[in-house]
Amino acid sequence: MRTARKGSVEMPAFVRQLVKETEKRVSSFFKGGRGGTAEGEQQGEGEKEEVIPSPYLDRPVLDKLTEEGCARWGLTYALGSMQGWRANMEDFHNCVPQLGGELADWSFFAVFDGHAGSTVAQYCSQHLLGHILATDGIGPEDDPPKVKGAIEEGFLQTDKHLHSVARREGWERGGTTVVATLISPYYIYFANCGDSRAMLCRSGQVCFSTEDHKPYSPLEKERIESAGGSVSFQRINGSLAVSRALGDFGYKGAENRTPSQQMVSPEPEVCVVERSPADEFLVLACDGVWDTISNEELCAFIHNRLRVCTDLRDVCTQVIDLCLYKGSLDNISIILLCFPGAPQLSTEALHQEAELEDLLESKVAEIYDELCARGEEPELLSVLTVLASTVIPGLPPGGGIQSKRNCIISAYYQQRDAHKPMIPNVSDSYN
């Protein structure tokens, strides 16, 4: 980012505070209480209660994977992903800016959000596109009904082959949601299976977004119950929080029912949007993003960031940090695709960004000095709390104060270093 004038700082105190702020958000359903015997059963003498490990860490893994690239027809893209609070990284992705051959002007991108392990997500990230192309429904003529059919059949074939591999190799647990886009010279095809989401921004506004597949949605719930399942705690049989996914074969055993009629359906919802010169950018992201930010907020935030950032990887990183600071407890993955009509770097926006960071630095200094003058310990949380209740003009739309938290933390540590008592040089006392 062009305005990132401050270096990154290790902030263990902030990480500890982040733990305190967000751990209360973790439901006891996940943190404990699921081990042990079933109701009505007695534990035998000498038997120990089963302890199910928490799926969450004591502190988040903040390392980020980033990737960038472009297509010859003017598309640029970046990926950002982070393990975060989850005990394991279960997200995978696939970025193919040019399919090659007669489809050289076509692009494919997808995010795979695994659950109960990463095996299914990894397998699908390697094979889904191949199964879609193998249907021979995609060609230079760009026929939307044929392309839609090819995508749907590709998902079903991927799930079928995955089941064969799972049985052969002795594993059938776990699944993955998928959100994907296939971009042709004339259309954008969206495929969604689960609760990851795609969003298209056009002329500064949300033009289209996919619908999440949740068990409590009326049509999804009807299918689940018809297949012999139930929905409780907004989950299938009180356990699985998505109603469509690849894998999850324990929910796909209803006899005399097609794959799309099972409790968990592998059938994607495929939508087609005609391309426009006004198309700006497209986002594919897992629910670790959408759990904390709305379509409109993310559209506004990215639109603003593109006017002050030259590196799309940095925009993805800022989105990840924003979601983390807003309380996301999941793996976080995002792919940002920018069309030729995307917002460009703006001198005015860069100036406003620099003014905002200067203002935040001065506010942090004022708060720090005021706390010191009152005899209070100017801890980071105290500074953040005061600043959060202060009106700050010019904050990034859709991001708010959380989107500038790294700048605030850097300013805080600068103040702390500046207020450290000076230790006299021993040699000066003899001069």
Domains of the chain, with CATH numbers?
56-338 (3.60.40.10), 347-418 (1.10.10.430)
84-119 pLDDT per residue, tens: 999 999 999 999 999 989 999 999 999 999 999 999
Label each residue of 200-243 as H, E or C: EEECCEEEEECCCCCCCCHHHHHHHHHCCCCEECCEECCCECCC
Instruction: Please give the share of the chain, as a percent, with pLDDT higher than 90.
Output: 81
* DSSP designation for 429: G
**Strand 235-236 relative to strand 231-232: parallel, antiparallel, unpaired?**
antiparallel
Mean of pLDDT values over 399-415: 95
* Cα–Cα distance for residue pair 425/429, rounded to 1 Å: 7
* 138 close to 132: Cβ distance less than 8 angstroms: yes
> Count of residues for the chain?
431
Residue with tokens 């010191």: 372
Give the least confident one: 32-36, 291-295, 310-314.
Answer: 32-36
Q: At what angle do helices 144-169 and 119-133 cross, to 10 degrees?
A: 140
* Cα–Cα distance for residue pair 37/364, rounded to 1 Å: 53
What pLDDT does residue 425 have? 57
Instruction: Please give the share of the chain, as a percent, with pLDDT higher than 70.
Output: 86
pLDDT band at 405 (very low <50, low <70, confident <90, very high): very high
171-192 pLDDT per residue, tens: 778 999 999 999 999 999 999 9
Mean of pLDDT values over 367-389: 92
Residue 349 has pLDDT above 90, yes or no: yes
Residue 381 has pLDDT above 60, yes or no: yes
- Token pair, residue 249, equals 């074969």
pLDDT band at 45 (very low <50, low <70, confident <90, very high): very low
- Token pair, residue 173, equals 């647990």
Terminal Cα-to-Cα distance of the chain (whole angstroms):
48
Mean of pLDDT values over 279-307: 98
pLDDT band at 427 (very low <50, low <70, confident <90, very high): low
Residue 266: which residues within 8 A CB-CB, separation 6 or more? Answer: 155, 156, 158, 159, 193, 244, 245, 246, 252, 259, 260
Residue with tokens 């089963």: 50
What pLDDT does residue 172 have? 73
233-278 pLDDT per residue, tens: 999 999 999 999 999 999 999 999 999 999 999 999 999 999 999 9
* DSSP designation for 6: S
**Signed CA dihedral, 211, 213, 216, 222: sign only:** positive
